[in-house]
Amino acid sequence: MKVHCDIRFTNSTHGAYLSGQQLTGHVQIKLTEAKNNVQWTQKRGQGRQRRTVYYTAKRDHLSSMKVLVGAQQNGNPTELPAGEHIYEFACELPSHLPTSFEGSYGQCRYTAQVVMDRPWKFNLTYKVGFTVVQPRDLNLQAPSIRLPTRMEDARVFCCALWRTKPLYVRVTVPFTGYVPGQAIPLTIDLNNQSSRTIEGVNMKLLQEITYHSEYPARKTRREVHTIVKHIGDGVAGEAQKQYEQRLVVPTVIPTCGDQNLISVAYRLHMTVRVEGCGSDPVLEIPLIIGTIPLIFQQPATVAIPPVTTVGVPSGNAGFNFGNASAQLPSASGLVREQTLPPEYLPPPTYEEAMNAAAVVITDDTDTNAIGTKPYVPLYPSYNFNDMQWPPLPPMPSQPPLPPKQLQMHQRMWQWPGLCDGLQVCMC
């Protein structure tokens, strides 16, 4: 007898959920005749003493099992006749679950698996993956992310006994919290009093992933990816220039802290390329990537219709992606409870992670798997249609860059990243 099995999630179109919500679905069986882990290796020692050390860590965040078809009352196994059989299941997802993630040295993976226990035969298994997103409301983060942040650098260039006049560089962002799909507006000020030509300004949005091992020792491994890059204008010698540039955040995992085995942080990285020998000025500004955008105030030009279907005041400025009893988010839309009306800001869709490749979620334990589906994590992304969101608040007047007196300084504001990430199994 040939067996075909499928697991379908009934309250999410693409199998994407927020932690704290309820997951429901059904198992479809057709009978016809005919976990979070982290791992990497390092070489240690020399010559004959050289060896490979495996650094690993694993944590299980979720485990739930439901018997869909049990044995008969007399203890005999139940025999399923040929045909189609559908069994429903549900699982409450804890609110503390970390966000799904697939990385080079570890992953946080959630799976649902059906096991067909056959007496005197090998069990048959079928497994699919689903995405869990830990909500990160930027409006609940530290108030400092709402403030304009500025990074400055002043530099002179020397050659033997000769020294140029200073180069002053300043980069400003209106706030430091963003969501995928949102543009980061940058203001670049170049005051080049030297004779050197500024060839350009390399702007990058960097993603830094940190993996934490627990065996045989606590150790960390980091990797940095460039997820957005742009080359801005330079300036000639003894000249000034100010311009603005927008970098759009792609679909990526939200910022995650180091409470778990995998943490993810983001930062703006800018390199001012100076002609000739000498070190190029480098400026960095830490950012937080969330799932719910900052809301400063409602624009006066937007008419807010009365809320009649939601039992909470419309003054709550925030986004609720649903609750355990409501419809869950999907790429086709969300239940908008305790949110601003759709005319004010469109809800997010769920998109595949940028540069993500489909992974096979079966492992060595699935020796008798009858099938699976390729899996790619899905993260919320907003479509602002090239509009600036939120409307930029009035920027405080900034002091002009110093004219002639050289002040060697470099300032940066940092806030700790927060979140979770890791491996999980649900079977």
pLDDT in tens, the chain (427 residues): 455 677 778 888 778 888 888 888 877 554 433 356 666 666 665 666 666 777 787 778 777 777 777 777 777 777 777 788 787 878 888 888 899 999 988 888 888 888 777 777 777 788 888 899 999 999 889 999 999 999 999 988 887 677 888 999 999 999 999 999 999 999 999 999 988 899 999 999 999 999 998 888 888 899 999 999 999 999 998 999 999 999 999 999 999 876 788 999 999 999 999 988 778 899 999 999 999 898 876 544 444 444 333 333 333 333 233 333 333 343 333 333 343 434 567 788 899 988 888 888 777 666 667 767 788 999 999 987 766 666 655 555 566 655 544 333 444 433 333 333 322 334 3
Query: Could you give phi then psi for residue 122, rounded to 5 degrees?
Result: -70, 140
Give the separation between CA 50 and CA 331, rounded to whole angstroms: 51
Peptide bond into 347 cis (omega under 30): no
**Is residue 207 a contact partner of residue 266, using CB atoms and an 8 Å limit?**
yes
Helix, strand and coil in the chain, % to nearest 5? 0, 45, 55
**Is residue 164 a contact partner of residue 275, using CB atoms and an 8 Å limit?**
no
Give the separation between CA 426 and CA 269, rounded to whole angstroms: 39
**Is residue 167 a contact partner of residue 274, using CB atoms and an 8 Å limit?**
yes
DSSP classification of residue 331: T
Domains detected in the chain: 2-35+54-137+347-381 (2.60.40.640), 140-289 (2.60.40.640)
Instruction: Categorise residue 104: left if φ over 0, alpha if ψ from -120 to 50, beta otherwise.
Output: alpha
Handedness of CA 318, 322, 325, 327 (dihedral sign): positive
* Side-chain half-sphere exposure of 420, counting CA atoms within 13 A: 20
**Is residue 341 a contact partner of residue 304, using CB atoms and an 8 Å limit?**
yes
- With vertex at residue 384, the alpha carbon angle to CA 378 and CA 389, rounded to the nearest 5 degrees, is 110
Q: What is the pTM for the complete model shown?
A: 0.75
User: Could you tell me which of 376, 16, 388 has the C-alpha nearest to residue 173?
Assistant: 388
Length of the chain: 427
**Is residue 143 a contact partner of residue 345, using CB atoms and an 8 Å limit?**
no
Q: Are strands 183-192 and 219-232 parallel, antiparallel or unpaired?
A: unpaired
